[in-house]
Amino acid sequence: MEDTPVAFEVELDRTSPVPLYHQLALAIERAIETGVLKPGDRLENEVALTARLGLARPTARQAIQELVTRGMLVRKRGVGTQVVQPHVRREVRLTSLFDDLAAEGRVPGTELLSLDECGAEEVPEPPGLPARLTRIRRLRSADGVRLAILTNYLPAHFGVAGPDLERTGLYALLRAQGASFRIAHQSIGARLMTEAEATLLGEEEPAACVTVRRSVYDDTGAFVETGTHVYRASQYTVRTSLVV
C-alpha cells in the first residue's frame, strides 16, 4: 500500500448531460483499469479531491460511493479510501478457471491440498457415479491472491498427478487423456464460509462465498467429473448474458 494518496488525471465536461459525480466515477474506474491506480493505492481524501477539481464534496462522495458499491474501492477507518484487488468475472460457460484467468492476463496459481481416492457414497450428487473416484482439492489463486477452494471428483481411470495439477487446469489434463465435454449441469449459490474455508482463503469471519456445483458429461452421456467449488465473494463475480 502506498503511504501517500495517489493523484490521477481527471477531465470533467461541465456542459455534458452526464452528472459530474458519474464522470468522476468513470475517471477513477479508468485509472484503476489502466493501472494508474493499483490495488492498495489510497485516493486523495474528499477535501483534497474536491479542491483540486472544483467540485462540491457531496459530488465526490457520491462518485466514490458508486465505486465502493461496485467493489472497486473500499473505505477503511483511519486509512482512507483504497483500491481493492479486481474481481475475477466469469461468464457462465463450461471452461476451466485456470484457463479463464490466463485468458484475462491474470497469473493463475494452484496449491494442491489433497489427492486421494473415495467411494461414490461420499459424494451426495449426482447419482450413478462410479464406485471408486479420485478426489482432488486445490487452492486456486489469481495474481497471488487466494480466490477459490476447488474440490473435484472424477473416475479413477483418469490419471492425474500432483505436479501436473499445480501447473495446468484440470480440464486440459482430462482432454489430454481423451475426455470430451458435451454437457454440464451447474448450480450457483451463496452462503457464509466455514471457519476452515475462511482460514484457507484469508478472509475474516463472517465472510460470504459464492458456491458452484457442477457435473460434466461427455458426448456419449458418460460421467466425466463433478465438483463443488467455493469462491471468495469479495473477489469473484459470475456474469451472464441475457437475450430477449
Return the pLDDT at 135: 95
* Domains of the chain with CATH codes: 20-83 (1.10.10.10), 88-239 (3.40.1410.10)
From the list 87, 91, 93, the residue with the least C-alpha distance to 106 is: 87
pLDDT recorded at residue 112: 93
**pTM for the full model?**
0.62
Q: pLDDT tens digit string along 102-160?
A: 777 778 889 999 999 999 888 878 888 889 999 999 999 888 888 899 999 999 888 88
Chain-centre distance for alpha carbon 197: 15
User: How many helices (DSSP H) and strands (DSSP E) are in the chain?
Assistant: 7, 10
Tell me phi and psi for residue 189, to 5 degrees.
-145, -170
Cβ neighbours for 25, distance < 8 A, ≥ 6 positions apart: 63, 64, 66, 67
CB 112 within 8 A of CB 165: yes
Evaluate whether 191 touches 207 at the Cβ level (below 8 Å).
no
H or E segment to which residue 223 belongs: strand 223-232
Between CA 232 and CA 84 the distance in angstroms is: 14
Which ranges of the chain have pLDDT less than 70? Answer: 1-3, 85-95, 237-244
